[in-house]
Structure 1
Amino acid sequence: MDKKQLLRLGGSAAGAVLPFWLLDLTLRATTGGAAWYPLYAAAPNLFSLGFGALFAALCLLPRRRAVGRVLYGLIYAVWAVYAVVQYGIWRIFDRFLFLSDFLLAGEGLGFAGYIRQLMDARFVLVVALLILWGTLGVWRLPEDLPRRRVCPVLALFFVLTQFVAPRLYAPVPETLDWDSWQSSGYEYERFSSSAYDLALTGPYQFVARDAYLSVLPNADAVEQRAQIDAFFDERPAHEENQMTGLLSGKNLILVQLESVDDFVLNDANTPTLARLQREGINFAEFYTPQYANGYTFNTEFAAQTGVYPYANGNVAYSLSRSAFPYALGNLLAHVDYTANSFHKSEAKFYNRGAMHQAFGYEQYHSALDYAQDELQASDDRFLADCEELYSAMTAQQPFADFLITYSGHLGYDEIDALTTYALEQFPEYRDDSRPYEINGLFAKARLTDEMFAHLLERLEEDGLLENTVICVYDDHYAYGLTDREVLEEYSEAAGGRLLERTPCFIWYQGCTPQVVTKTLQTVDLLPTLANLFGLEVSDTMGRDAFDPNYEGYVIFPNGGWMTDTAYAKNGQIVWNNGMTDAEVSEMNAYARRFQEINDAILDTDYYAQATE
């Protein structure tokens, strides 16, 4: 074979490989991948060229060119759809889906109207480019290549890229000094930040490595348990304080709000909630970092267990058989509370029927089982107004009820039926000077607020209010607003240091109002409530807000962190009001260790030891 033939052969093969690389480059470029890892870096490009070679080899195997073209089109179409989905997810959440997150895709199917709002010029351009690359690939697929020579070479190239590309990342640092967490080799091993990981690997290796890590057996369980033990031994033991046992024996209604952000909760939009917050114990710097997707369930998991879910996948379906003896429902059940949970969705959604039982709740009650239709079940007021649900909440004392509201769920546009309904119920929120979505969000939040008003009234009429504690926290910031600038503007006006700051407060009759300004996070809620109710404050990733040994912090899934005095994001100090370089370095290392210990607890079913 002469030089010209070799060049022609190489050019023809490249024509089949390059569209897959262009798909990857388009996805990484349009989702800000360069902010995490350079677009021109060798590793992700090698990975994508290698997978492109593998896909091309498969399509060149059939003798008939038409069959090969169909096969090429099918393979490319699957990846193109995957890229479009991930682009849409990134537009909403600034992150991507891991494979396990696709188990939660059913929730998104119910909000097609919201997704349509993302169909702007940028979205159309991305889709058009992906279609163009695929069309060129199908059209350019050669038919006269010597398959027996070319296909093995392409397959060998794929194998070589799998061997070479991982070795091009920066070495894993021996110690996590300042900035060392950004080591590409460390993140490739850990694979915990979807935005960073896709930038490191491209979409094909992102899926392959995610799948590999999902089935990899845990051979280090004994060592991991030892590391967990050491972590808790080194941490100062919980110290009883003036709040210990303050609420012992009282009924508890724990409410997780849906999208009632800090700028939403005020006297104008939610007068009942605003009054309870003002009269109670207000945790003014409470943050809900979003580990993985399925934000609502992942937040309830963290609040109930004091442990965050995996940053690279959900736990609703993978950990339902794990032991959580120190989850809130189990702790209260041990002191003879009757514990039940309530929400709109069916028990199978997020596997709540099984997961809430693991948390210690006797029964999960879905409003859909009692309502006339879905719209009635979606109105949070139904939780308090339905006789059967209210009876299940209060029939036996002391009771512990876990309510998850729904009305504030996205979307907030003209297409969303619940938004239209809420604005009909509260026409005063039709304000043409504001974006329609803001009006929809505020009106939906008012439905939730009315639920609280009805519930308080019923509890007082039945003589239960004076012995009942109401604890309220939010599942996540109002990410459902499609205009990011509007969201940031409203959040900043409310005084939040970050979007992730959300409401959290505890109210009961006779409470002395106080504002706690310590920086707190979702996993701190469990130990704080345990301390207030005089229960065992066990070793979890959270800490009691009133423990004098706890200075307060929040750890984000991408390795960032925040304390009262400094905030680090993407390896950079965003602001610093007094931490020394040594303290910053120590906190940076601690944030990574925090996540490693958190995941090790999940990997090893660590708390099962307490039940043996």
Structure 2
Amino acid sequence: MKKTLSITNVVVLFVSILLLEIIFRNDIGITNLFGSYLLYTSCFAFILSSIMLLFGRVGRTIYSVLILVFIGGLFAAQSLHYDFFETFFSISKISIIQEFFQVSGETTHKMSLSLLIYFIPALVCLIIGLIKPLNEKISFKVRSILCSILLVIGVMGLLFIPQGYKDNKIMSKSNKLLYETLYNSEKAVDKLGFYAYTIKDVQLYLDKDNSSDENNKLIVDMYMQDNGYKASTNEYTNMFEGKNLILILCESLSPIAINEDLTPTLYKLQREGINFSNHYAPVFQTATSDSEYISLTGLLPSILDGPISYDFADNSFPMALPWKFRDLGYSANSFHSFKKSFYNREQLHYTYGFTYLYDWEDLNFYKKPEFVEAMNWVADKDLMSSVVKISIDLEQEPFFDFVISVSGHIPYIRGRYELENDLWETIKIYGEVGETYSEEALCYLGAQRTLESGIEELINDLEKEGLLEDTVIALYGDHYPYGLTKEASKELFGENIGNDIYKTPFIIWTPGIEHKEVTDITSTFDIYPTLANLFGLDINGQMIIGRDALSGSEGLVIFQDYSWKTNDGYYDATKQVFSTSNLNEDDIEEINDKVFNLIMVGQNIIREDYFRN
């Protein structure tokens, strides 16, 4: 007993490292709890636990507790991140970590006591360390030999196990490619294990080479020769040539928030304008910022490297909508009622070609005494009113205004005084808390009611100034409301919404337009080429991921984990399962290869700053 007790915390550390991964996999819903990944995990556990043998009793206790607190923190953080985005954090995203903590309650409101389970092993090791054995029976010499043996086993395993990952000419079935690139973090954790994913992620970050690679440029050249965008004319070509455009990115706007009672103006635009009723907004590294990038450039954002907003903000994007509209004599400005430093928007928007980004300081949105930054937001009504006023003051027509709404952002709480009027109207429709919805769900709907007030204000102001007839309003949701808790999401969307959670509105409206309902699948990638066709922008030869959604051509939604969706169904790249039987295996692999190639080319474009020259 004495001999055993003196190294019990060594055994507990080894077992805890294995057990924590099994708990984590169960927590996030991975059904493969016991698999080949445990071999890599065991080698990792051998290394950490063997080092403990070199310490005395107190040293082992301190070491094991610190190791388990650190590892437990990693698991808890990744579990929280997965709860938000259904993907895992990568060290390449470290440049945007500050944004994650700036919004009040963005992280804390999803924390739960269940996360404490990841710290129980550390507590067990501490308790064991406090139980003092009568004497130390295992000599340092023996412990050193045992340490060396375990270290060799562990290190050799970490070096050679990845060599056994199988390759396959079909990229989506290659575990070797998965390990070398970690292109699908969820699939990597499932197939290879959390520790393999984490260690490889750090290695990729440290080995990152920022120098230019002519081979990458050649790959893009060759791809664009055969796949450069070729516009086709249709009845909508040049339909809005010479008209003003106000493009509105609507924070967390979901189709469930558009109805005749809650949002009558949005409902009117949907019923009168061009309504894309099967529209998806895939979420990438920076959600809103990436949706801006996709809709303004038609390109894939960074998936395998750091975020566009920081790591590639110096890149050149001469094909972006602002530059294209300016080439036609338009003014191009952007508007946001938060600080322009958030997501590095000031630099990024000038890269896109906007003449100026008006933020909350430029728009004189002075804080009220009770204002709490990143909890209370400037109401979209005030933002929209400022957009029209500045557009008139600039005395330049036609104009292209890009507006980033903010009222729909979390937190969804009654403490947001700017929601007061619209929340009251929401309660009159759905009843008080508990009658139909919880407080959180009601506040989400109330926040979208505040967007509704802003759109109504925008249309009224345009009409007063005589600009409405010559102005097109296009609006779209940037992403699904990932800020909602699981309970509130179930209230609003139901239990089995699946990938349809990514559905967001996309509407194009101007007075007198003939209504059209587009039921074919569309996504944020289609916004750029669709607007280009409507306004007569020349984008031929460009690298465009989407297509003109009014052309009748086949749509394709690409997700961050290499999953995809077409009119035929949804392919889950992590589980490698297609939701319907409309396509045979060869058809699925053909689209898989297309998605892999598009993402490879898209990443090379960003890495090489391809369009600068």
- TM-score, length of structure 1 as denominator length: 0.87
CA distance in 2, matches of 1:482, 1:21: 29
Q: Which residue of 1 aligns with 2:601?
A: 597
CA distance in 1, matches of 2:236, 2:128: 67
Q: Which residue of 2 aligns with 1:519?
A: 521
Identity of aligned residues (%): 26
Q: Which residue of 2 aligns with 1:20?
A: 17
* Residue correspondences, number: 591
The structure 2 residue matched to 1:228, chosen from 220, 226, 236, is: 220
Cα shift readout 1:329-386 (whole Å, capped 9, x = no counterpart): 1211222222111113222211111111111112222125521225674311120234
Quick check: 1:542 aligned with 2:538? no
Q: Which residue of 2 aligns with 1:299?
A: 291
Q: Which residue of 2 aligns with 1:574?
A: 579
CA distance in 2, matches of 1:305, 1:343: 19
How far off is 1:389 after superposition?
6.7
CA distance in 1, matches of 2:27, 2:387: 51
Quick check: 1:433 aligned with 2:450? no
The AA in structure 1 aligned to 2:366 is: Q
How far off is 1:253 after superposition?
0.8
Q: Secondary structure at the match of 1:407?
A: coil
Distance 1:315 1:58, change over 3 A: farther
How far off is 1:325 after superposition?
0.9
Contact 2:47 2:154 in 1 (8 A): yes
Q: How does 1:437-586 map to 2 (within 5 A)?
A: 437-483=440-486, 487=489, 490-491=492-493, 498-537=500-539, 538-548=542-552, 550-569=553-572, 570-576=575-581, 578-586=582-590
Distance 1:411 1:377, change over 3 A: closer
Q: Secondary structure at the match of 2:587?
A: helix
Q: Which residue of 2 aligns with 1:166?
A: 162
The AA in structure 1 aligned to 2:477 is: D
Quick check: 1:275 aligned with 2:268? yes
How far off is 1:299 after superposition?
1.3
CA distance in 2, matches of 1:493, 1:153: 51
The AA in structure 2 aligned to 1:517 is: T
Distance 1:492 1:425, change over 3 A: closer
Contact 1:324 1:358 in 2 (8 A): yes
Cα shift readout 1:260-313 (whole Å, capped 9, x = no counterpart): 101112222211111112211111211111123x21112111111211223345
CA distance in 2, matches of 1:254, 1:222: 37
The AA in structure 2 aligned to 1:589 is: D
Q: Which residue of 1 aligns with 2:181?
A: 190
How far off is 1:210 after superposition?
1.6
Q: Which residue of 1 aligns with 2:95?
A: 103
Q: Which residue of 1 aligns with 2:41?
A: 48
Bigger Cα displacement from structure 2, 335-344 vs 410-419: 410-419
How far off is 1:68 after superposition?
5.0
Q: Secondary structure at the match of 2:34?
A: coil
Which consecutive residues of structure 2, in runs of 5 or more, have no partner in the other structure? none
Q: Which residue of 1 aligns with 2:27?
A: 30
Distance 1:165 1:221, change over 3 A: same
CA distance in 2, matches of 1:592, 1:529: 26
CA distance in 2, matches of 1:526, 1:574: 28
Contact 1:304 1:327 in 2 (8 A): yes
How far off is 1:406 after superposition?
0.8
Q: Secondary structure at the match of 2:256?
A: coil
The AA in structure 1 aligned to 2:291 is: T
Contact 1:488 1:499 in 2 (8 A): no
Q: Which residue of 2 aligns with 1:380?
A: 380
The AA in structure 1 aligned to 2:178 is: E
Which consecutive residues of structure 1, in runs of 5 or more, have no partner in the other structure? none
The structure 2 residue matched to 1:210, chosen from 169, 185, 201, is: 201
The AA in structure 1 aligned to 2:600 is: E
CA distance in 2, matches of 1:423, 1:384: 19
Q: How does 1:39-118 map to 2 (within 5 A)?
A: 39-42=33-36, 44-56=37-49, 65-67=57-59, 69-111=61-103, 113=105, 115-118=107-110
Quick check: 1:401 aligned with 2:401? yes
How far off is 1:117 after superposition?
4.7
CA distance in 1, matches of 2:60, 2:420: 50
The AA in structure 2 aligned to 1:188 is: Y
How far off is 1:86 after superposition?
1.3
Q: Which residue of 2 aligns with 1:371?
A: 365
Contact 2:262 2:426 in 1 (8 A): no
Cα shift readout 1:503-524 (whole Å, capped 9, x = no counterpart): 0011112211111222112111
How far off is 1:491 after superposition?
4.0
The AA in structure 1 aligned to 2:579 is: V
How far off is 1:320 after superposition?
0.4
Q: Secondary structure at the match of 2:257?
A: coil
The structure 1 residue matched to 2:234, chosen from 241, 262, 265, is: 241
CA distance in 2, matches of 1:544, 1:562: 17
Contact 1:383 1:390 in 2 (8 A): no
CA distance in 1, matches of 2:349, 2:181: 29
Distance 1:13 1:573, change over 3 A: same
The AA in structure 1 aligned to 2:451 is: T
Contact 1:77 1:134 in 2 (8 A): no
Distance 1:356 1:168, change over 3 A: same
Q: Which residue of 1 aligns with 2:610?
A: 606
How far off is 1:138 after superposition?
5.6
CA distance in 2, matches of 1:213, 1:52: 22
Distance 1:523 1:331, change over 3 A: same
Cα shift readout 1:55-94 (whole Å, capped 9, x = no counterpart): 44555556x6535543443333222222211112222332
The structure 2 residue matched to 1:361, chosen from 345, 354, 359, is: 354
How far off is 1:111 after superposition?
4.9
Bigger Cα displacement from structure 2, 309-318 vs 104-113: 104-113
The AA in structure 2 aligned to 1:174 is: K
CA distance in 1, matches of 2:164, 2:416: 48
The AA in structure 2 aligned to 1:164 is: F
How far off is 1:166 after superposition?
1.0
Quick check: 1:285 aligned with 2:278? yes
Q: Which residue of 1 aligns with 2:301?
A: 309
The AA in structure 2 aligned to 1:545 is: A
Q: Secondary structure at the match of 1:252?
A: strand
CA distance in 2, matches of 1:140, 1:351: 52
CA distance in 1, matches of 2:223, 2:178: 21
CA distance in 2, matches of 1:596, 1:301: 18
Q: Which residue of 2 aligns with 1:199?
A: 190
How far off is 1:324 after superposition?
0.8
How far off is 1:502 after superposition?
0.9
The AA in structure 2 aligned to 1:588 is: N
The AA in structure 1 aligned to 2:512 is: G
How far off is 1:216 after superposition?
2.4
Distance 1:285 1:10, change over 3 A: same
CA distance in 1, matches of 2:198, 2:421: 41
Bigger Cα displacement from structure 2, 72-81 vs 416-425: 416-425
Contact 1:263 1:493 in 2 (8 A): no
- TM-score, length of structure 2 as denominator length: 0.86
CA distance in 1, matches of 2:332, 2:387: 18
